[in-house]
A and B are shown apart, each in its own frame.
Chain A
Amino acid sequence: MADRAQPLSRGLGAGAGIAATLILALTLGTLGAVIHRAGGFGSLGPADWAALRFTVTQAALSAALSLLLAIPVARALARRRFPGRGVLITLLGAPFILPVIVAVMGILAIFGRAGLLNDALAALGAERVSIYGLSGVVLAHVFLNLPLAVRLLLQGWRGIPAERFRLAAALGFSSTDISRHLERPMLRALGPGIFVTIFLICLTSFAVALTLGGGPKATTVELAIYQAFRFDFDLGRAAQLASLQLALCAAATLAAARLTLPAGFGAGLDRALARPDAATLPLKLQDAAAISVASLFLLAPLAAVILAGLPRLATLPAPVWEAALRSLLVALASTLLALLLALPLALAIARTKGRLLETIGMLPLATSALVIGTGLFLLLRGLASPAALALPVTAAVNAVMALPFCLRALIPAARDLETDYGRLAESLGLSGAARLRHLTLPRLRQPLGFAAGLTAALSMGDLGVIALFADAERATLPLQLYRLMGAYRMADAAGAAVLLLALSLALFWILDRGGRADAQA
């Protein structure tokens, strides 16, 4: 029976209420604080409209390219089995938690002015190409989102029942027939949802635009907000840009909510079907090419950073290690806060019917991290100096920004928990702390560990609010890395990038493992 007779318990109701209020205060409240401080909206100049156009253009291009390039790769992975396939699919999940600044470094190492590609071009006597601007921003976004598109599409292939492929084989379908009758309908159903998801991620992208964009021709709205704050301290314009961004993201989010996405994050992706139709040599070559080109595109930049940075790791200057420690503390604080917000919210969402709480929980997807940060500074500035607030505010902002991902991991598990054990728990009077300890935490351990790992890694690698307010003594590791790059200390930067990469992946691995270890039944 789907109907729940029991209202929320008092503790859970209060917890979810506090969490929802905090999220509203941190997203819309901070925007309000900025608008209030600015004394209303400022005026948008031609440069701001150019930023809006650039934002939409680069996001649309990035999403379209990621999706189109993902199709041959996902198809190849779906119908082939080869040693290392599982590892490759696991690796495809990594860019989501990869610090963006590290990805940018990797891309520069291959495609940058002094990168491998340009060295090769120069050796052939050709002109060196520059990737700063639209091409660099799109390249970085495709690098970061192509793997996500591949994984989502792979789930789409997995969603086609094996019996259909068996039937197709029995009827002697060629690959073209299979494509027409089985694969294209799936792509038509999932493609738009995947496109909008990536479009949304690229809309609010900041670190990529900061490092590879800039200038009047390649400024995103989020970067324009940064510049309005940092260089002009024009709060009115920042507030107006932020509202514009909110409207843009809200529209895209609404569109995304109406489109289909494959469920889940990647369980059981490791099944390959027998596909006699694909056993021809041209198709084998095509799939081999798709997989190797994609692997090279994704792995070469990271390999370049690691090779350049590893030898420098031992001799990194002390400020880098101090920044690493600060980043770790910020990441752990963010993780704790994100879980404290996400758990009561997910449990309440699982037990109630309305969509209000879920909408509030997804709100951070549409908000600007920079505006949340600035609003917090404005609200708290009577209490402490901006520099002293830099790290706590960064931790809070990172927690809020990770919340939608935490909720996405927790809500399905919380719903299952309610369906499977809600009535038994109620019939035994299991409630309050006892229910949390004996039922909720043990049963949700795995998604909680995953959410914690995700939040910690995202927070560890985040370069956003901190860039606005931190002084030299309070830089996080990504900011320190950005400053090293700005000072052209590329060797130290590569070393710091390796450290950042290692810490982010380790945080994710340890927390996610913690959720799986000793998992019962």
Chain B
Amino acid sequence: MLRLDTLVITQDDFRLTADFSVAAGARVAVIGPSGAGKSTLLSVIAGFYPAASGRVLWNGADITRQPPARRPLSILFQDQNLFPHLTVAENVGLGLRPDLRLSPAERAAVTRALERTGLAGLEARRPARLSGGQQSRVALARALLRARPLMLLDEPFAALGPALKAEMLDLVAEIAAETGATVLMVSHDPDDARRFAPETIVVAGGIAHPPRPTAALLDSPPPALAAYLGK
């Protein structure tokens, strides 16, 4: 279970508070107007930006001060999820060992993760020679291989077309189901939230609200969300 305990995030004159829990294995959308602090919230959970006060807990353990790589999570950024000078297999292998000294068993695991994400045979390619959808799959293969209990998606599929994005979200859902991971997904698109996430966190007016059932929330949105959705 992820718990944000009286978390306060400040950045110049920006301020965001969060105080809630997300159940283990939940799939949660994070929506709200741009500039409200959705990405910043994920940055704090992932350890890239320090909270002004409060704690981030995973299954009761305080991870607030841990460096990003030690936290029990994988994060997919909006872009730059792959190193362009490394091959597909190397990019995925980094998820197992950052020094890339992989044992035969680990190599086999990389191959399996690539097969699972529909990238069999592309091991030696570099990202520039992949399509946008394939690049997303490489990042997902790495997340699958790392098998961390929490996945943070900071709009990694924003540049993909609607059909491809839906395909990726289905793949994320499958992977999360296989590894039992909890997923937090930032999105601009209410349809993504409906399709993928039973629960939704609304970030607006300086507050990250506790997760609520997505369908009910979108059908009768609170004022701040209604303004954003244009309802």
Contact = CB atoms under 8 A, between A and B. Distances in A.
Contacts of A491: none
Contact of B98 (A1, A6, A428): A428
State which size class the interface on B falls in: 20 to 34
Given A3-B11, A423-B48, A424-B77, A429 B83 contact: no
A437 B100 CA distance: 10
Contacts of A438: 83, 86, 90, 94, 98-100
Interface in A394-451: 420-421, 423-424, 426-431, 433-435, 437-439, 442-443
A431 B84 CA distance: 18
A521 B84 contact: yes
A428 B94 contact: yes
A521 B74 CA distance: 25
Interface in A1-32: 1, 3, 5-6
B40 interface: yes
B94 A430 contact: yes
Contacts, number: 77
A520 interface: yes
Contact of B49 (A1, A420, A424, A435): A1
Contact of B46 (A421, A427, A431): A427
Contacts of B83: 421, 424, 438-439, 443
B98 A427 contact: no
A423 B40 contact: no
Contacts of B90: 438
Contact of B69 (A3, A429, A439): A429
Given A424-B80, A427-B75, A439-B83, A434 B127 contact: no
B80 A421 contact: yes
A442 B75 CA distance: 24
Provide the main secondary structure of the chain A interface.
Answer: helix
Q: In the complex, which of the residues A420, A423, A442 has the most CB atoms of chain B within 10 Å of its own CB atom?
A: A423
B74 to A, nearest CB: 7
B98 A429 contact: yes
B48 A5 contact: yes
Q: In the complex, which of the residues A5, A6, A421, A443 has the most CB atoms of chain B within 10 Å of its own CB atom?
A: A5
B74 A427 contact: yes
Nearest to B50: A5
B40 to A, nearest CB: 7
Contact of A420 (B11, B43, B50, B80): B80
Contacts of A437: 99
Given A429-B98, A434-B100, A442-B85, A1 B70 contact: no
B149 interface: no
Contacts of B47: 5, 426
A421 to B, nearest CB: 6
B32 interface: no
Provide the main secondary structure of the chain B interface.
Answer: loop
B134 to A, nearest CB: 15
Interface string B51-86: 000000000000000011110001101001101111
Contacts of A442: 85-86
Given A521-B126, A521-B128, A429 B85 contact: no
A420 B82 CA distance: 10
B98 A430 contact: yes
B85 A443 contact: yes
Given A424-B81, A431-B98, A520-B126, A1 B68 contact: no
A520 B85 contact: yes
Interface string B97-133: 0111000000000000000000000000011100000
Interface in B169-217: none
B67 A6 contact: yes
Nearest to B128: A521
Contacts of A521: 84-85, 126-128
Contacts of A435: 98
Lowest 7 A-B CB distances belong to which pairs? A429-B69, A521-B84, A434-B99, A520-B85, A430-B98, A442-B85, A521-B128
Given A430-B94, A437-B99, A438-B99, 16 more contacts: A1-B39, A1-B40, A3-B11, A3-B49, A6-B48, A6-B67, A423-B77, A426-B67, A426-B68, A428-B98, A434-B98, A438-B83, A442-B85, A442-B86, A520-B85, A521-B84
